[in-house]
Structure 1
């Protein structure tokens, strides 16, 4: 986890350095400073520092992470990564309706509405897929 912290800090420092260089470069032109790029690089730097801060806070609360042990094996990082539904069709329907929605942004709002019409039941079906009993959908 320490290596990931350092990568976050490196991304933050790099983005802030590039923001200063980009600001100086665009300030020397006739048009003036191009603020969208400068603000985007500053936000990227803040994102890198935010990731490093989160990993640092997480590392402080936990025991030593197996990835920090130079003599550790890869199988020490095994564990439960979450529950994934093995036979669910809902993600396919949700992905297809999201594709129709995004296509609707380019083609027309009528297609977006059709995609949203199919996306809402797919999202509800995926969310409540494992509800059992009298209150099931």
Structure 2
């Protein structure tokens, strides 16, 4: 019995395409690719139907969210580094003296979040300059 790929989402189709044995099921892989292209085209058309001004507002709000994540992540990073402890909700605070590996691991996570968002903003601006 062959699955009905028309009911699959883009993410599900991408997962199917990654996991399918193309040698055993070449026609099934072709169907998945066909449905994936069709869904991607529909998604692109749906986005293009959104008025340009509204898309600009959405992009601007997304950037503001990224700025907020950067500021909050860096504030927490500096605060935790300065105090030498990380407040935990359901257990004792993680102190640098008690568990340095966990302490630095959590610090790296907060730093990574800030860097990741900064990179997303940079890439977005670079893409806009190229358009």
Q: Could you say which TM-score interval applies, normalised by the shorter chain?
A: 0.3 to 0.5
TM-score (norm 1): 0.33
In proportion to residue count, which structure has more helix?
A: 2
TM-score (norm 2): 0.34
